[in-house]
A and B are shown apart, each in its own frame.
Chain A
Amino acid sequence: MAGETTAVTHIGINNQSDIHHSAGLTQVIVIVLMTLLLLTWLFFHADYVSEQEHIHYSQLLHDLRKAEANVDGEVLANRIALSRNYDALVVQIDKLTTISHQIINPPVFLSEKDSVKLIRQVNKVQLTVKAKIHLIDLFKRNNAILQNSLNYFHESSNTILDIKKNTSIIPLVESYVRHLMFFVQFPDQDSINDLQKTEQQLTFFSTQQNNQPVIKNLLQHGRIIQKYRLKVADQLREFLFLPSAIQQEELIRVYSQGHANALKVAEQYRMLLYMVAFLLTLYLAYTFIDLERTRRSLARAHREVSTRYQAQKQAEGLLKLHDTAFNSAHEGITLTDTDGNIITVNPAFTRITGYQQEEVIGRNPRVLKSGRHDIDFYRAMWRSILDTGNWRGEIWNKNKYGEIYPELLSITAVHDSNGDVSNYVAVFSDISLIKEQEQQLKKMAYYDALTKLPNRSLLTDRIIQAILQTQRSDVFMAICYLDLDGFKPVNDTYGHELGDSLLIEMSNRLQECLRGGDTVARIGGDEFVILLVGMDKIEEYELAMRRLMKAITQEFLIRGNSVMLTASIGVTLYPYDDCDAGTLLRHADQAMYQAKQKGKNCYHLFDPEKDTLARSQHERILRIENALKADELILYYQPKVNMRTGSVTGMEALIRWQHPERGLLSPIEFLPFIEEHELIVQVGNWVIETALTQLEDWHSSGLDFQVSVNIASLQLQQPDFVEGLKSAFARHPDFDAGRLELEVLETAALEDIVNVSRVIEECHELGVSFALDDFGTGYSSLTYLKRLPASTLKIDRSFVRDMLHDPGNLAIVHSILGLATAFQRHTIAEGAETQEHCRLLMQLGCQTVQGYIIAKPMPADKVLVWVKSWQADPSWKAYQKLYWSDADYPIFAAEVEHQSWITVLVHSVNENLPMTHKRVSDEYVCRFGQWYYGVGQQRYKLLSSFAQIEAPHRLAHKLAEKIEYYCQNGDFKSARELLPELLMQRDGILILLKQLSMDVALKLE
């Protein structure tokens, strides 16, 4: 419905503008209701002409006519005796009456005018109907009477005519009857006249004839007939002339007109309704457009608001962030106004100063004044702020509890949009900790972190103080530069942690050795300086040194292993060495170096007079450099021979300095000075170069052997070492790289095992082999050995030299050889001094040997000659084709052991020394005996040489016992008498052992 949409539209529109006023709402309701009413009214009128009503009324009008027609019909039927009772007539009249009553209510849709017209007409009709009904009523009566009389007249006249057949009355009666009948048929005036004439005649005659009742009756009925016939005729005429048809037609017409008028009106209302609906639709469309527009603008506004809201939210977020920053900052923040009064502070402020926010708001920060700063300080602060807008610095403030603490404070002036100062912002942090740390650092500046000993700076300070002090009095002081020997390997072996604890322990021990005014300082990794002051006698310092040495060399227990360290100490005495603190330290350092050179584990006093080291290191180096340049350096060569093959395998190049003044200097007299200097690299390169040249030279002479060149550790650590080799080979293209062997000290190699291994491998790729020199002297683990891919191990001379007499050394040599076998390395024994050495070495399995027994180092030009003339010692022949299994080693061990044991005994006896060594034991229990009666028995019992040993062995023991016995009793003489026999026995054993060894020897094929 139109009404509904309008209502909705109105709601839509009005709700947009109506925000919160209920008055607006009432307005809406009113408008809506009114519109609805209008539309309803219009529709009501448009639909006014009810079809049903029209039909109903039309039907009524129709029924009226029908009823009337029926009534007419019945009346006529009764008149002509078609209907012989009045029931039907009554019914029809009833119907007619009813309908005529019903039509009085015109249909509602008729206009006032038309209604009135209609009603008027209806009234007319009703009157007519009433009249009709009345007439009919009369007719009923009259007709009944008429019929009755007609019936009787008929009968009566017949009777008379029959009775009075031949009387004279008959013609009159006949005439009367005829006329009456005629009259009944045609009741007009003429027939009445005629009838009345006849009637008169008959009446007259009747009275003449004594008024016979029959005639009287006839006349009576005749008169009734006349009367009622006329009545009926009149009534019928009246009845028929009633204008009911016309009236009814008029009624219908009036009604139709009214109906048509009403329809027209309804049509008009419909048009109106349509127009209204049309207008409403337009309005609706307009409203929708407006709505859309509004909606769009609303959306726009919403978007705007949204954006603004977003921005605000962002700002809020930022604000929150700032707030968070403010509140969670670790530094205290104070916000003041232009007068410096606090507006707000953050929680950190409270944390640092102890003041809650409420306690300081409105107050000035000067409540924090500590009193440590003078007024100028604050003035300067504020001047800075006013001039530059900020101030930053350290300030001492007082917190709530009265404690003074340092602050790192920064004050900034905040300006508003006009450029005027609006606030001051102070940001500060409590730097108590920092200050503490400063102190700590200051402290640390003077003390070593690990050992807490004074460091170099403090030491220098102390030395200066001590110098002043010593100058004042008649005493001297000692500056001792202490370097721990072999600390590095320990560090490597046991780790830095334990190394550190070792250092701490060491420093403790050192401190314990000192007196009050003395100082021990740590100035390097394993370097200490001890300052001894206030001594008058030399002995004092010597004692101190001995004490120190003792303390140092005491065992350290590390992880259950005992480690022994030694130290090299260089000492200089002031005022004998009259220099400044720095120079004194240097001299001490030099002296320490000397001590190291002397073999470590000792102390060396700096001799200012002698001063072989007076020359500065630099001068020395220069000197050597010159020597190098001036070709004062030369190479000597010591041959290495293979005892089995009896051939010279190679040469070891050894550097010599042909010093113009001092003569031929061995390496130890100049190399140590440059070992830490890069000059060593140049020297090393020269050595290689020279060696290569020399080899080439020899090669061209037909000599084809390998040369070993010593390489210093510094040279080996050079990053371009291998490159240098390559270029050297490039310079000597004929030289076969495989002929070059580089010897590095085992100890040197261990210093930087990773790099050294790499270099060795790189050299391997070139073909150059490596040998570990002085093998066995370094504190190395077997892991290192595994890792160093040196192809040759050179058994240090120290082991080889004494291996004939020292079972320990023999064991070392044996084990080195074993190691070498296990790791598949070559071996060469250094320091072979006798043929016995050679023999034993061969027997132990060492083929190659280098030593004085073979040749001393010789200059290059002597080499050729020597090589040509050298021959293998004949004693070697016996052993060249033999080798011994490891299981036979105890034979050799036994040899050496016996030698040593008896030698010691003999020595003691000869020297009248008390028997300090272990008592010689039973021949079964002594080491040899253990072997002999144990493994030896199992292995060698079948051998005669083995069996024969028993007797002299036992005898030897017996003799030894006797000798011991004598010695214990002081009877050295008797002891001495037994010696020759003992020796004889010993020799016998040795010969037998030798024989045994030959017996068990395996043949080389």
Chain B
Amino acid sequence: MASRKILFIIIVIVITVSVLLVYQKNQPSNELQVQSTVLSSIKPYNSEQIQPLPVEMILPVEKVDLGRRLFNETGLSKDNTISCSSCHLLNKAGTDRRPVSIGVNGAAGLLNSPTVFNSAFNFAQFWDGRAATLEEQASGPIHNPVEMGSNWQEILTRLRADDGYQTLFKKIYQDGISVDNIVDAIATFERSLITPNSRFDQYLRGNKIALTEDEQQGYQYFKDYGCISCHQGINIGANMFQRFGVFDGYFNNKTISQSDLGRFNVTGIEEDRYVFKVPSLRNVAVTAPYFHDGSVSTLENAVMIMGRYQLGRELSEEDIRLLTAFLQSLTGQWQGKLLQ
């Protein structure tokens, strides 16, 4: 009888399905997050104040390529004029060499673009550290009306319309073009932008003649004067917040803008007023202008201000010269060449 057969088949299917369901349930759905390769180079209880950068970052090539493409994609901006690289030019040491960046419609930004190079080693992104990861950071400029002035919806639409992006995304990501995947690709690319083998790193690795006498002396002053207490770690800074103006007075005579409030914008705690992320000093020689507002254009000046307001010292010219010389040696290599 046919009805018998049908019944039997139904039974079998039901059983199979329930078995599978039960089995599936037992699979752990959570997967631990993949450890970042970045942070795996950090050693615990490290008495060394500064470490050299790793020589290379092991990252999936296709993602990096896609990320590079997206990094340069002006389509991420509202009027299709601004891409990530507009403010973080790789041939300008990852910045735009402007005090503040210019966004869509020529809108001026509020803050100086930090370098994208070695940003993987920042413990947080943005001057006020509001983005914990590079992925989080990508959203910022995109939605900022004075930067890219766009939104994810728009970008998704634009990217999805592009067959090239469709193919690329589909190749790498199962779910194709999505916000998570876009930022993942961009972040992966950004992580690849490291500048190892600065002369200082070489010195740290043991090559004692990598630094000149002046530079070595500068390094000593850097340590002795206490610059190193905030500008330490693998990225020579960028692993803590600190008040700009430990010794009062930096903001005394100035008009205070929103961006000057720094971390206070994020936490609202009084103590966090004028507190900013300590920037990385790597490639500092080529990432002028300096400070959050890009108000200081020379390294010597920056050193002088830091000494006065952070260390409470009036540094002599000689000190500044030596310190500056030292800071020059912090410029690393990108694609085999010294960063320009």
A-B contact pairs, 18 of them (CB 8 A): A7-B11, A29-B7, A32-B7, A32-B11, A36-B11, A52-B26, A56-B30, A73-B44, A82-B47, A84-B47, A87-B234, A88-B45, A97-B132, A140-B241, A140-B242, A141-B241, A152-B312, A155-B224
CB pair A77–B26 under 8 Å, yes or no, is no
- Judge if A160 is at the interface, Cβ distance under 8 Å: no
Find residues 46-87 in chain A having any chain B CB closer than 8 Å to their own CB: 47, 50, 52-53, 56, 70, 73-74, 77, 81-87
Apart from A56-B30, A82-B45, A85-B233, 12 more pairs, CB < 8 Å? A1-B15, A11-B7, A22-B3, A25-B3, A47-B26, A52-B26, A85-B51, A90-B239, A134-B269, A140-B241, A155-B224, A221-B312
CB pair A88–B46 under 8 Å, yes or no, is yes
Complex interface: chain A residues within 8 A of B241 (CB): 137, 140-141
CB pair B240–A144 under 8 Å, yes or no, is yes
Whether A91 touches B311, Cβ cut-off 8 Å, given contacts A53-B28, A83-B45, is no
CA distance in complex: A148, B33 (Å):
37
Partner of B39, one of A91, A147, A155: A91
Whether A98 touches B33, Cβ cut-off 8 Å, given contacts A36-B14, A70-B44, A88-B42, is yes
**Ordered nearest first, which 5 A-B pairs have the shortest CB separation?**
A148-B226, A85-B232, A87-B233, A40-B18, A144-B229
- Judge if A646 is at the interface, Cβ distance under 8 Å: no
- Judge if A15 is at the interface, Cβ distance under 8 Å: yes
CA distance in complex: A44, B10 (Å):
21
Complex interface: chain B residues within 8 A of A44 (CB): 21-22, 25
Residue of B nearest to A82 (CB): B45
Complex interface: chain A residues within 8 A of B15 (CB): 1, 3-4, 7, 36
CB pair A84–B48 under 8 Å, yes or no, is yes
CA distance in complex: A3, B21 (Å):
15
Q: Which of A40, A82, A90 has the most CB of B within 10 A?
A: A90
Complex interface: chain B residues within 8 A of A305 (CB): none
Residue of A nearest to B235 (CB): A87
CB pair A151–B226 under 8 Å, yes or no, is yes
CB pair B26–A50 under 8 Å, yes or no, is yes
Partner of A140, one of B43, B48, B240, B247: B240
Partner of B229, one of A43, A102, A148: A148
Partner of B311, one of A92, A98, A140, A148: A148
Find residues 2-51 in chain B having any chain A CB closer than 8 Å to their own CB: 3-4, 7-8, 10-11, 14-15, 18-19, 21-22, 25-28, 30, 33, 39, 42-51
A: contact size bracket = 35 or more
CA distance in complex: A50, B30 (Å):
13
- Judge if B326 is at the interface, Cβ distance under 8 Å: no
CB pair B39–A94 under 8 Å, yes or no, is yes
CB pair A25–B312 under 8 Å, yes or no, is no
- Judge if B243 is at the interface, Cβ distance under 8 Å: yes
- Judge if B126 is at the interface, Cβ distance under 8 Å: no
B47 CB to nearest A CB, Å: 5
Whether A137 touches B28, Cβ cut-off 8 Å, given contacts A220-B247, A224-B312, is no
B24 CB to nearest A CB, Å: 11
- Judge if A105 is at the interface, Cβ distance under 8 Å: yes
CA distance in complex: A77, B90 (Å):
38
Residue of A nearest to B18 (CB): A40
- Judge if A298 is at the interface, Cβ distance under 8 Å: no
Partner of B22, one of A40, A81, A88, A145: A40
CB pair B3–A87 under 8 Å, yes or no, is no
Find residues 19-46 in chain A having any chain B CB closer than 8 Å to their own CB: 22, 25, 28-29, 32-33, 36-37, 40, 43-44
Whether A85 touches B246, Cβ cut-off 8 Å, given contacts A90-B123, A147-B226, A148-B311, is no
- Judge if A867 is at the interface, Cβ distance under 8 Å: no
- Judge if B70 is at the interface, Cβ distance under 8 Å: no
- Judge if B318 is at the interface, Cβ distance under 8 Å: no
CA distance in complex: A1, B19 (Å):
10
Complex interface: chain A residues within 8 A of B243 (CB): 141
- Judge if A149 is at the interface, Cβ distance under 8 Å: yes
B: contact size bracket = 35 or more
- Judge if A579 is at the interface, Cβ distance under 8 Å: no
- Judge if B299 is at the interface, Cβ distance under 8 Å: no
B320 CB to nearest A CB, Å: 17
- Judge if A665 is at the interface, Cβ distance under 8 Å: no
B25 CB to nearest A CB, Å: 7
CA distance in complex: A98, B132 (Å):
11
Whether A151 touches B224, Cβ cut-off 8 Å, given contacts A84-B232, A91-B42, is yes
CB pair A77–B7 under 8 Å, yes or no, is no
Complex interface: chain A residues within 8 A of B193 (CB): none
List the interface of chain B (C-beta within 8 A of A).
3-4, 7-8, 10-11, 14-15, 18-19, 21-22, 25-28, 30, 33, 39, 42-51, 123, 132, 224-226, 229-230, 232-235, 239-243, 246-247, 267, 269, 271, 275, 310-313
CB pair B226–A36 under 8 Å, yes or no, is no
CA distance in complex: A152, B228 (Å):
13
Complex interface: chain A residues within 8 A of B234 (CB): 85, 87
- Judge if A685 is at the interface, Cβ distance under 8 Å: no
CA distance in complex: A525, B39 (Å):
151
Complex interface: chain A residues within 8 A of B51 (CB): 85, 87
Residue of B nearest to A139 (CB): B240
- Judge if A138 is at the interface, Cβ distance under 8 Å: yes
A6 CB to nearest B CB, Å: 10
Complex interface: chain B residues within 8 A of A149 (CB): 312
CB pair B312–A147 under 8 Å, yes or no, is no
Complex interface: chain B residues within 8 A of A948 (CB): none
Complex interface: chain B residues within 8 A of A8 (CB): 11
CB pair B45–A224 under 8 Å, yes or no, is no
Partner of B246, one of A22, A86, A92, A145: A145
CA distance in complex: A77, B234 (Å):
17
- Judge if A642 is at the interface, Cβ distance under 8 Å: no
CB pair B312–A138 under 8 Å, yes or no, is no
CA distance in complex: A73, B43 (Å):
13
Complex interface: chain B residues within 8 A of A74 (CB): 44-45
Complex interface: chain B residues within 8 A of A152 (CB): 225-226, 311-313
Complex interface: chain A residues within 8 A of B7 (CB): 11, 25, 28-29, 32
A43 CB to nearest B CB, Å: 6
Residue of B nearest to A6 (CB): B11
Whether A92 touches B224, Cβ cut-off 8 Å, given contacts A32-B11, A86-B233, A141-B241, is no
Complex interface: chain B residues within 8 A of A86 (CB): 123, 232-233, 239-240
Complex interface: chain B residues within 8 A of A15 (CB): 4
- Judge if A217 is at the interface, Cβ distance under 8 Å: yes
Q: Which of A37, A89, A98 has the most CB of B within 10 A?
A: A89
CA distance in complex: A37, B17 (Å):
11
B29 CB to nearest A CB, Å: 9
Complex interface: chain B residues within 8 A of A84 (CB): 46-49, 232
Whether A47 touches B22, Cβ cut-off 8 Å, given contacts A85-B239, A141-B242, is yes
CA distance in complex: A47, B19 (Å):
12
CA distance in complex: A92, B123 (Å):
11
Residue of B nearest to A76 (CB): B45
Partner of B45, one of A3, A7, A77, A141: A77
Complex interface: chain B residues within 8 A of A147 (CB): 226, 229
A795 CB to nearest B CB, Å: 110
CB pair B25–A50 under 8 Å, yes or no, is yes
CA distance in complex: A8, B4 (Å):
11
Complex interface: chain B residues within 8 A of A11 (CB): 4, 7-8, 11
CA distance in complex: A32, B11 (Å):
8
Complex interface: chain A residues within 8 A of B4 (CB): 11, 15
Complex interface: chain B residues within 8 A of A50 (CB): 25-26, 28
CA distance in complex: A3, B28 (Å):
26
A256 CB to nearest B CB, Å: 19
Complex interface: chain A residues within 8 A of B43 (CB): 88
Complex interface: chain B residues within 8 A of A40 (CB): 18, 21-22
Complex interface: chain A residues within 8 A of B25 (CB): 44, 50
Complex interface: chain A residues within 8 A of B247 (CB): 220, 224
B123 CB to nearest A CB, Å: 4
Residue of A nearest to B47 (CB): A84
CA distance in complex: A149, B246 (Å):
11
